[in-house]
Structure 1
Amino acid sequence: MKVHPYLNFDGRAEEAFNFYKSVFGGEFLAYIKMSEVPEGDKLSKKEQNLTMHISLPIGKDTVLMASDLLPSAGQVLQPGSQTYLMLTTESRQEADSLFNGLSKGGSVEMAMDDMFWGDYFGSFIDKFGIRWMISFNEEQSV
């Protein structure tokens, strides 16, 4: 399993990651705008330009990841909501086990499910207020 920090921004993810790239170097592993997601064309022009996902390697085994929050979905940046711990697992079973164990007594944001970008993914806030994302990708685990 690998652990990666996942950050949320209020419309500044691209700006922040260009800055981080200038410090750490390297290239983005992924950069997806909200306009590129299913039904992204239904968002306002401003929201279509927001970052759905961006990732930058910052060390041998560490990838810094982020998204912009989506106001039309009711997402608001609050203290503590800008950071998640992202666990990348080696199997669906490990993903389910960690998700079910860590989310017990907490609040599920997205149940584990197959996502359009290819990952088996879920997110939640544990009973202590810590935000987690669990992800498994068959192709990347081989």
Structure 2
Amino acid sequence: MTKLTPYLMCEDARAQANFYIESLGGEVLSVMTHKDIPGAEENAPDKVLHMAVTVAGVPLFLTDSFLSQQNGNALYLALEYQEDEEAHRAFDNLAVGAEIRQPLEKAFWGTLFGQLTDKYGVNWMITTEQKASQA
């Protein structure tokens, strides 16, 4: 079985991971820094080489990018919740410092749906599960 895990290139992986964990719930599973690389130079030993977290029950990887900033603006992370209250809480928490592209509201197909670009430049879609009675 194949597994897909989003991998975010960040300016500050720790801050970004903490924001998502505080906003959506989750935890840091592991962190490897550049000082963990055998023979690494000491120019940025505390920069994150690889961080594994869970956010809203979903695995996510992050790293501090040494390249030009590569925000995830060509990709959307979609979170689907069972309950409206959960979707509203997630959307409102991610909306801090964000650009709201579409407010979280009832869509014509019957579920809640909203889009935003968070303060780190990552695009999110928040929605609720379509119930059998809505189909």
Tell me, yes or no, whether TM beats 0.5.
no
Higher helix share: 1
> For this structure pair, what is the TM-score category when the shorter chain's length is used for normalisation?
0.3 to 0.5
Larger Rg: 2
Please give the TM-score of this superposition, normalised by the length of structure 2.
0.43
